[in-house]
Structure 1
Amino acid sequence: MINPSMYTESDRIALYSPEFAAMPHHCYRDMRKRYGSLVPAELSPGVPATLVIGYRTAVQILHDPAHFPVDPRTWEKDVPDECPVKPMLAYRPNAIHSSGEEHRRYRDANVAALGGVDLHGLHAVVERVAVPLISRFCEIGSADLVADYARPLAFQVVNEMLGCSPDIGHRVSTGVLTIFNGEDAAAGNTMLIGALSELVAGKRADPGNDVTTRLVQHPAGFDDQEVIEQLVPLYGAGVEPVLNLIANTLLLILTNERFAGSLLGGSLSTRDALDEVLFLDPPIANFCMTYPRQPVLLDDVWLPAHQPVIISIAACNNDPAISGGDYTGNRSHLAWGAGPHACPARQSAYLIAQDGVDQLLDALPEIELAGDPNDLIWRPGPFHRALSNLPVTFEPSQPFLGWHPN
């Protein structure tokens, strides 16, 4: 049996390092050889955690909230406020960090609020946002598909779903990005909460047909702070993962002949490309944190009490014990989580990403990656799999007016 307290600092894998961001799959293979399914890791300097890279072990944890609860309050007592990952992991009164009746109360409200989204209407929203974004750069012949397309598309569509004005949405987007990047995350959290406070106050005064209003008016009777804390994960899980999913899918399509040729030929769909990315390079690579209340023996490893146990979604999806290498039509990945805390917004996220990719490829079917894919830079951070940029070139064309079927 292994006691993680025996590990030295040099034994722990720094999930925040640029080296890990550049070659995570190489690191996962090395981890598997050295440690098996449970890996000593650091989320930021001096913040130890256990990274789960075995698929079956991850599923066991995700379906066992009694031994692996999600409440971080005991852990965070000893974590300084300036810790860059604290705003991401700290307790909030929402479904992500709760269990039992409290979890049901929060999750039921979130499911109901998201269930009110008109998915047919969401297609129109994505097109309405995507068309002017594409038109801004289609005459130039080049673009950065992260900054010029995926990021503004995801934020604007989620803003509309939540009924958020552009001004408030800009502050929300800046706060969320700062938290994910770990760059003065405390300041990012302050900006995020301040902007969402204005959003909730506005919806109490002037309700609309949107997710925020449905949370405000839900029979659970949330106060303003509770509504704000439901919106935090909706923005965090609705924007950063979606923009990364769009960008990572476009990278796959642009660099893999199976997709580049087949998509134009019609034999593989954008959905197939999305599913392959959700297996190989999921936009949130490491997440689903739990905090054992007492030491737990798992896979011959003693997991310390109250220390984060984080699921490596990317490593688990690529676990040789379950991965056959064929991803077409296979949606057994853990990109949306599993168990009682599985993502309730997957349907909307799929739709936004798929329509976002299709709108771009319809407008610019001959688009090409500018430069060597090995020169692309991935943003460091323990949680996401995110490109810093995605430069492309294409034949300049007239402003895009949208795709309309015959």
Structure 2
Amino acid sequence: MTSPYQPGAAQPPSCPGQAVPPPQAAAPPPGCPAHGMPQAPAQPDAYAPVRLYGPEFAADPQRIYAHLRQYGAVAPVEIAPEVPALLVTDYRAALELLNDDTTWSKDSRAWMQTVPPDTPVMPMLHWRPNVFYSDGPAHVRYRDVIVDSFKLVEPHELRARVHDAADTLIRRFGDRGEADLIADYARLIPLLMFNSLFGLPDSYSDRLIAAIAGMLEGNSPEEAQAANEAYTQYIMELVGAKKAQRGPDLTSWMMDHPNELGDEELIHNIILVMGAGNEPLANLIGNALSRMLSDDRYYNTVSGGALTVHDAINEVLWNDPPMANYSAHFPVRDVFFHGTWVRAGQLVMVSYAAANSQFDTTGAQGPGSGSGSHLAWAAGPHACPVKRHALLIAITAIERLTAWLSDIELAVHPSELEWRNGAFHRALAALPTRFTPITPDQAGATPWQTSGPSSSTPPEPTSTAKQPASAH
């Protein structure tokens, strides 16, 4: 018989000065103030953490989430070898946690001492002086710098930058008639965008692309370390360039903000914004393109169908959120949370994907995919501060691609698409497609010219004859 006194189980904590009772104990220690507290729903027979990594989870995470719901609102998981965590799978419990910054802290420093320092998830959870890992006044101070700086990016200018980045990438593969829309497009668009928004010339784009790709896909610790050093060097050169000469860019605006970030704070917040703007945004674009190309309702959209890119994005944010499990929190004290005792400093993550899909799975009354109440952007004080910009980039990037390549289709059956391994993200490994090739010298407008198809006006239903329109 397994003990109910496993980490994260529905158990009262031991009273000060008393040891946790042995496995055969059926009651809390005498005099414990938690005696008589409500008990959790019936737990599965084996209270073993469920792996959120490996091919089984990557292939069908919703099946894993359905199993985890047997534990109640909070379930034991393992996010990497020897790295346990608790995962919130209930929508209302997730909202409660995300909005309670008194009980739950974002500071991971105490937790970091409890796990192997070389664990592969450490880069995602390592404490830094930035908006993601801070609480209270420090968090507000950092967040104001980011929000105020992004407010200076005009939507029409951002859209024009996306058009330029999209055309740059499409020119690289347009004449081939085939492309992996993950490696050739979705992963690169955010990098080109942020290189530009933070104020470095296009000549630096390839360095940023290579560095982040190396950190994500490094085949060895040495390669990952080299990529990390290249990324750090990129950021240092960026900050150095803007110290020497300001410009109309995010780096300069963050430097000159009245909250006066120090050099270390500035660097770590730029690193965060670039990282948070890259992986989730790339996954959002890739997942939405996959949904559009796998579903006939969207396929027709390319030449004037009923469902739009906005619909695809919304469905992805509900059903395949690009960061499926994240929002790491650590309770500041032992807390009885929705039927489970959580120790102070224990890692608790929110599953946006499980919480979003809870109602479709259980039939319970709650928000549906037609509403805007999904948790893909998190909620509460740590909700994404620049979601409008992210949405504009994703929607414009997809519209630009499908405007130029209006007959694009999957090169494999949707069931053959593979998903990347990892506890945090929901991301395709590749998205192979084919289309009618386009060339610089063909009739009509092309990405090689300064003007192109408007994202709001579908072109002819073939990639070889486009109607010229304003680029912006």
| TM-score tier after normalising by the smaller chain length | over 0.9
What code does the residue aligned with 2:65 have?
Y
339-348 or 187-196, which moves further after superposition?
A: 187-196
Match of 1:240 in 2: 279
Aligned equivalent of 2:422? 381
CA contact (8 A) 2:302 2:402 kept: no
Aligned equivalents of 1:345, 1:17: Cα separation in 2 = 31
Equivalent of 1:356 in 369, 388, 397:
397
- 1:308 corresponds to: 347
- Mapping 1:325-340, distance limit 5 Å: 327-328=369-370, 330-340=371-381
**Unaligned segments of structure 1, at least 5 residues:** none
Q: Per-residue deviation at 1:225?
A: 1.1
Question: Please, what is the CA RMSD of the aligned residues?
Answer: 2.4
Distance between the aligned counterparts of 1:343 and 1:180, measured in 2? 22
- Say which of 17, 24, 48 aligns to 1:11: 48
Q: Structure 2 CA distance, aligned partners of 1:93 and 1:391? A: 39
Alpha carbons 2:73, 2:339 under 8 Å: kept: no
SS of the residue 1:311 aligns to: strand
**Does the 8 A contact of 1:84 with 1:182 survive in 2?**
no
Residue correspondence of structure 1 range 179-328 to structure 2 within 5 A: 179-180=215-216, 184=221, 188-262=227-301, 264-320=303-359, 327-328=369-370
Tell me the secondary structure at the aligned position of residue 239 of structure 1: helix
Q: Is 2:106–2:329's contact at 8 Å kept on the other side of the alignment? A: yes
Q: Share of identical aligned residues, percent?
A: 39
Question: CA 1:178/1:140 → structure 2, altered by over 3 Å: closer, same or farther?
Answer: closer
Is the Cα contact below 8 Å between 1:168 and 1:198 reproduced in 2?
A: no
1:11 is paired with a residue of what secondary structure?
coil
Which structure dedicates a bigger proportion of its chain to helix? 1
Greater shift after overlay, 303-312 or 132-141?
A: 132-141
Q: 2:233 corresponds to which letter in structure 1?
A: G
Aligned residue for 2:350, secondary structure, equals: strand
Query: RCO (CA 8 Å, sep 6+): is it higher in 1 or 2?
Result: 1
TM-score (norm 2): 0.80
1:260-308: CA deviation from partner (whole Å, max 9, x where unpaired): 2245334222111101101000111111110112221112111122121
Task: Return the offset for 1:229.
Answer: 0.9
Q: What letter is aligned with 1:5?
A: P
- Alpha-carbon distance between aligned partners in 2 of 1:204 and 1:129, rounded to the nearest angstrom: 26
How far residue 2 of structure 1 moved from its aligned partner, in angstroms, is 6.0
Structure 2 residue aligned with 1:390 = 431
Task: Please say which of residues 108-117 and 71-80 is displaced more in the overlay.
Answer: 71-80
Residues 333, 305 of structure 1: alpha-carbon distance in 2 compared, 3 angstrom cutoff? same
CA distance in 1, matches of 2:53, 2:82: 12
CA-CA distance at 1:4 after TM superposition: 4.1
Q: Deviations over 1:85-127 (max 9, x none)?
A: 1111111111111111111111111111111111110111111
The residue type paired with residue 89 of structure 2 is: I
Decide whether the 8 Å contact of 1:4 with 1:301 is kept in 2. Answer: no
**2:100 pairs with 1:37:** no
CA distance in 2, matches of 1:139, 1:239: 27
Is 1:73 matched with 2:114? no
Give the Cα–Cα distance (whole angstroms) in 2 for the partners of residues 198 and 75 of structure 1.
Answer: 32
2:217 and 2:330 mapped to 1: Cα distance? 23
Aligned residue in 2 for 1:144: 180
Unaligned stretches of 5+ residues in structure 2: 10-44, 441-445, 455-468
2: CA distance, partners of 1:41 / 1:396: 46
Which amino acid is the alignment partner of residue 66 of structure 1? T
In structure 2, what is the equivalent of residue 153 of structure 1?
189
User: What SS class does the counterpart of residue 50 from structure 1 fall into?
Assistant: strand
Q: 1:371 aligns with which of 372, 397, 412?
A: 412
Question: Is 1:403 aligned to 2:445, yes or no?
Answer: no
* Secondary structure of 2:269 counterpart: helix
State the SS of the aligned residue for 1:16: coil
How many equivalent pairs are there? 404
Q: Distance in 2 between matches of 1:323 and 1:188?
A: 47
**Further displaced range: 205-214 or 191-200:** 191-200
- Pairwise CA distance, 1:179: 4.8
Relative distance call for 1:168 and 1:56 in structure 2 (3 A) is: same
Compute the displacement of 1:79 (Å): 3.0
| Contact 1:2/1:300 (8 A) holds in 2 | no
AA aligned to 1:214 is W
Report the CA distance shift for 1:220/1:84 in structure 2 as closer, same or farther (over 3 A).
same
Shift of 1:319: 0.9
Q: 1:78 to 1:403 in 2, by over 3 A?
A: same
CA contact (8 A) 2:87 2:351 kept: yes
**Aligned match of 2:131:** 95
Partner of 1:109: 145
Q: Please report how far the alpha carbon of residue 358 of structure 1 lies from its aligned counterpart in structure 2 after TM superposition.
A: 0.4
- Please identify, of 126-135 and 349-358, the stretch whose mean Cα deviation from structure 2 is larger: 126-135
Give the Cα separation in 1 of the matches to 2:104 and 2:230.
31
Compute the TM-score of the two structures, normalised by the length of structure 1.
0.93
2:302–2:403 CA contact under 8 A, matched in 1: no
Cα distance in 1 between the residues matched to 2:418 and 2:216: 16
